[in-house]
Amino acid sequence: METRSTRRKFVWALAAVGGTAAAAAAAAMHRSILARLSLLTRLPEFSATPPLVPHDPVKDKRTLYVSQGKGPSGNVDAVVEKLGGIERLVGADDVVIIKVSAQWWNIGMTNVASVKRMIELVVGRPGFTGEVIVFENTHFRLADGSGLSRAFTHPSVRNVDVEGWTKMGDLLGHFEKEKAPVSFVGLVDAGTSSMGGDHWHDHAHEHGVYGGDGRGPIADGEDRDGYHWDFSRTFRKKRSWVDSAQTPLTWPRFTSPRTGVVVDLKDGLFERKDGALHPLGRKLTFVNMTTANEHVSTGLTCACKSAMGIVDMSAGRNGTDPRVRDYQSVHYFGEPGASWRMAGPLAHFAKEVRAPDLYLACAEYVGLVPAAGLPGEEPDLRIEEASAIRAGTVVAGTDPVAIDTWVAKNLLLPRGGKNRSRYDVDDPDSVLSRFLRYYREVHGSGTLDPALIDVA
């Protein structure tokens, strides 16, 4: 009887495994058929230039604060002074988070001297008792799990501009030595990625491996750092007769290494007490310090696109978590054929999670492919000397569309690059114009009309 019972259980187990395998195969076939139908029934309007939402000449009037030719630190000083001084932006007890761009080195990262000077202005504010947290998601992690990878550890030959320094990571030791209330956090995506083996111009993976730590999103009520994935606020755009492009809303939670203050980018500041998170009655000030480079998918990587270094890139295509199998990560939202559509989930993020209190486009250099092209077998404009053009400019403001418009028109277009048609904001059908039109359509604000942009 015992043998017969065991045999029966074994047969049932085999049937269950077979059923599971069959179900998985059927699901995979269904996805494959749906993908083919999606391509065959693609809606023309998905890749068409978005209509320009009319500007309101009063509501959409913008002022940008620009400084040129004073060096990275001097330009930051000048724009902050034009804004009314650091006291106007930062309160005495604020927790100030500064987002930098660090996935790439050289001109692919935020100018290090500019970041250093902004931190100094904040901690030097009269009566300042708060703290500064510099953060970024490079979407890479080091062997020890740290997200302070890529530009933080990879030496740069330009765009550092601090004597004796070679990389963004030199900021850490400097402010530790100064005993300043400054800490650094490298965010790590929640899921792993099928692209983890790619070398990304770092064949030995000395400066990070692409992809997250595989813990998955923060569960309801779970007290840990990581990423929230909110499928109830997924951003969608109909792309074919049979499906939509869709990206879940994601945002990070991280803890100050210095004080233990918990930053939830959507919900604000918390303290851990008695095994739970409790709201902290302090102001969170968010400064975004970005680059200004040509980009193949959006025309320009500057203020609007900079949130790509905050969202979780494992929550969709190329992420291996089964929960996001039928979703696109932000970067691939418009693929194939409309890469600029990633403006949609980026604008959705700014609306639903948090927009910066101030953007600083740190264009000490602008990066673009020169008319003669780039040398080498695998050139990348973010790291090549031939693509680095010294512009000596910092642009500050609160409207990312206006900043990107001004930067493209005044800093990139006059340089006569090989791909200028991508970032020609005077052409409504350029990649950048499409990107910015869609961003302001989804966000419900933003100024694309140069006539409504004043410069101080």
Q: Is 32 helix (H, G, I), strand (E, B) or coil?
A: helix
Kindly report the number of other CB atoms within 10 A of residue 82's CB atom.
16
Neighbour-count burial of 234, counting CB atoms closer than 10 A to its CB (0-12 exposed, 13-18 middle, 19+ buried): middle
Angle of the 343-352 helix axis to the 431-443 helix axis, nearest 10: 30
Among residues 307, 311, 304, 308, the alpha carbon closest in space to that of 397 is found at: 304
CB 296 within 8 A of CB 374: no
CA 208 to chain centre: 17
CA angle 91, 94, 99 (to 5 degrees): 110
Neighbour-count burial of 67, counting CB atoms closer than 10 A to its CB (0-12 exposed, 13-18 middle, 19+ buried): buried
Q: Distance (Å, rounded) from C-alpha 151 to C-alpha 164? A: 16
User: Beta-strand (E) ranges in 187-326?
Assistant: 209-210, 226-238, 244-255, 262-264, 268-273, 276-279, 284-290, 293-295, 299-301
Provide the total of helices (H) and of strands (E) in the chain, helices listed first.
Answer: 9, 17
What are the beta bridge partners of residue 235?
247
From first to last of its 456 residues, the chain has per-residue pLDDT tens of 444 444 454 445 545 556 666 655 666 666 778 778 888 899 999 999 999 999 999 999 999 999 999 999 999 999 999 999 999 999 999 999 999 999 999 999 999 999 999 999 999 999 999 999 999 999 999 999 999 999 999 999 999 999 999 999 999 999 999 999 999 999 999 999 999 999 999 999 999 999 999 999 999 989 999 999 999 999 999 999 999 999 999 999 999 999 999 999 999 999 999 889 999 999 999 999 999 999 999 999 999 999 999 999 999 989 999 999 999 999 999 998 999 999 999 999 999 999 999 999 999 999 999 999 999 878 999 999 999 999 999 999 999 999 999 999 999 999 999 999 999 999 999 999 999 999 999 999 999 999 999 999
Q: Which alpha helices (DSSP H) does 124-218 contain, by range? A: 170-177
pLDDT tens profile 33-57: 877 888 889 999 999 999 999 999 9
CB 343 within 8 A of CB 436: yes
Kindly report the number of other CB atoms within 10 A of residue 402's CB atom.
29
> What DSSP letter does each residue of 69-127 carry, written as one string?
SSHHHHHHHHHHHHTT-HHHH--TT-EEEEE---SSSGGGS--HHHHHHHHHHHHTSTT
pTM: 0.93
Q: Distance (Å, rounded) from C-alpha 22 to C-alpha 216? A: 26
pLDDT tens profile 162-193: 999 999 999 999 999 999 999 999 999 999 99
Q: Distance (Å, rounded) from C-alpha 353 to C-alpha 389? A: 34
CB 217 within 8 A of CB 228: yes
Tokens found for residue 78: 């000048």
Q: Which residues of 432-454 are buried (b: 16+ CB within 10 A; e: fewer)?
A: bbbbbbbbbbbbebbbbbeebbe
Q: Distance (Å, rounded) from C-alpha 57 to C-alpha 436? A: 18
Q: Distance (Å, rounded) from C-alpha 325 to C-alpha 11? A: 31
